[in-house]
Amino acid sequence: MSNAYLDLLAHFGIGGAHPGGFSLTRFILQDENIKVNDSVLEIGCGTGQTAALLVEKYNCQVTAIDNHPIMVQKARQRFQKIKAPVKVLERDVQNLDFVDNSFDLIIAESVIVFTEISRTLKELSRVLKNDGHMIMIEMTAEQYLSVEKQKKACSLYGINEILDTDEWILRLHQAGFNQVEIISTPSELNQIEVNDINPSKQINMDLYDLWEEHNEFILHNRDFIGYRAFKCRNS
C-alpha cells in the first residue's frame, strides 16, 4: 500500500531519517559485540546507511530488506559504490520468507510503526535466533494524545496507531520477546540534520510540501510524541 511519507524519504534518498538519526545508530551500535560470523537483518534499510556501517565496522553478514523499490535501488547503488557485500532484498517485513531462527541480530529503525505492529513483531521474533536480540527505535507517545493529534499524526505518516512505552513493551511480550530493555537515549523527537541524501532526478512538488508539514508537526508536538530505543530478546 502506498505511503506518501515513505515515498518522500525514498525520492529524496534520505539516510538516517529515523528518530535520533545516524548519530543515535552509531551510539547504540558502539556497545554491541557484533562478530564476523554474526548474521544481521536490517528491516526497512532505506538507502543502506546503517547496513553499510555494519559491514564496514564489524565485517558481519548483513541482509538488508525494504519494501520500497526506490529505496532498494538506492541501497544497492550505495553498496556497489563502496563494494560492500550486503544482500539487499525487496521484501515485506510482515511476511518474511526466512526460516525460523535465522538471525543473530535484527535492527529496526522507525520501521515497525509503518506496518501492522503485532504481525510484524511476531515475524521478527520468529526469525530471530533464540540467543539473538533485536534493536528497535520507534516513535512513541510521550503523554496522552487527543483524538485530533492521533488522527493528524496517523494521516501525516500513513500509520495506524501511536503506542506509548508500556504499549510497545506489551506488544513485544505478546510477540514472544520475553526480555525487553529500554536503551538510555534522549527521547525528544527533533528535526534531523540531513547530511546523507541521494535525491531522484524528478521529485513531485507535493513531497516538498509534505516535508515542510513533517517539520512543522515535529516542531509543535515534541512534548507529545518522542521515541524509544529497545533491546529485545525472545529467550
- CB atoms under 10 Å from CB of 116, counted, come to 14
Domain span at residue 48 reads: 4-233
Tens-place pLDDT, residues 17-26: 898 899 899 9
Would the pLDDT of 31 be above 90?
no
Per-residue model confidence (pLDDT) at position 190:
64
The model's pLDDT over 90-131, given as tens digits with 9 standing for 90+, comes to: 999 999 999 999 999 999 999 999 999 999 999 999 999 999
Identify which of 140, 101, 110 has the alpha carbon closest to the alpha carbon of residue 5.
110
Pick from 146, 147, 101, 154: which is nearest to 124 by CA? 101
| Percent with pLDDT over 70 in the chain | 97
Instruction: Note the pLDDT of residue 45.
Output: 97
Is residue 13 within 8 Å of residue 48, measured between CB atoms? no
Domain count, the chain: 1
pLDDT of 82 strictly over 90? yes
Q: Sheet holding 128-141: strands in order across?
A: 87-90, 61-66, 39-43, 103-109, 128-141, 225-233, 179-183
- CATH number for 83: 3.40.50.150
In this predicted structure, what is the pLDDT of residue 193?
67
Q: For residue 5, give the C-alpha cell.
A: 511519507
Task: Kindly report which listed range (92-101, 161-170, 183-192, 202-211) carries the lowest average pLDDT score.
Answer: 183-192
CA distance 117 to 114: 8
Supply the mean pLDDT for the chain: 93
What percent of the chain shows pLDDT beyond 90? 86
The CA distance from 155 to 136, in Å, is 23
* pLDDT for 189 beyond 60: no
Q: How confident is the model at residue 196, as a pLDDT? A: 86
Residue 75 has pLDDT above 60, yes or no: yes
**pLDDT tens readout for residues 203-213:** 999 999 999 99
Residue 110, sorted as left (phi over 0), alpha (psi -120 to 50) or beta, turns out to be: left
Res 235: pLDDT? 78
Res. 188 pLDDT band, cuts 50 70 90: low
pTM score, whole prediction: 0.94
